[in-house]
Amino acid sequence: MNFTQMQERLRVELLRRIQRGTLSISLLARQTGFGKSHLSNFLHARRQLSLAGIDRMLTAQYMAAEDLLQLGAHHVQLRQAEETSSIPLVSHTTALFEPYIRDSAVQKMLPLLPGSLHFLKP
């Protein structure tokens, strides 16, 4: 993943949070110290952020750089978690609204007996 792709993933994630109503440009401006116009230009892909700017955004949103990695790599981690028969415990907001579970959103891993997930109905 290159720098531009990482910025695009961050931009899409922030727009998703704004659309969902859990974030606003005003709140993001207060958290990061950026001006509203600067953030608006970034969110509308008219401007890019520096590496330090991305770091400030990630810190303000309690995200890590690993959260912006490709979704395919995340699916490999999920498959490994299924093999060990453990499930992630996350907040109800994460469970309801996140399209995939980030490592930073996991509060605890609950171990299960091997094979116990096969008997549960979806």
pLDDT for 81 beyond 50: no
pLDDT exceeds 90 at position 27: yes
Tell me the backbone φ, ψ of residue 68, rounded to 5 degrees.
Answer: -95, 0
Domains assigned to the chain: 3-68 (1.10.260.40), 71-110 (no CATH)
Q: Is the pLDDT of residue 79 over 60?
A: no
> How far, in Å, CA of 80 to CA of 40, rounded?
39
Q: Which helix (H) or strand (E) covers residue 27, if one does?
A: helix 25-32
pTM reported for the whole predicted model:
0.61
Report d(CA 14, CA 25) in Å as an integer: 9
What is d(CA 116, CA 39) in angstroms, rounded to the nearest whole number? 47
Alpha carbon distances (Å) from 19 to 5, 23, 24: 21, 8, 9
Taking 80 as the threshold, does the pLDDT of residue 80 lie above it?
no
Radius of gyration of the chain (CA): 17
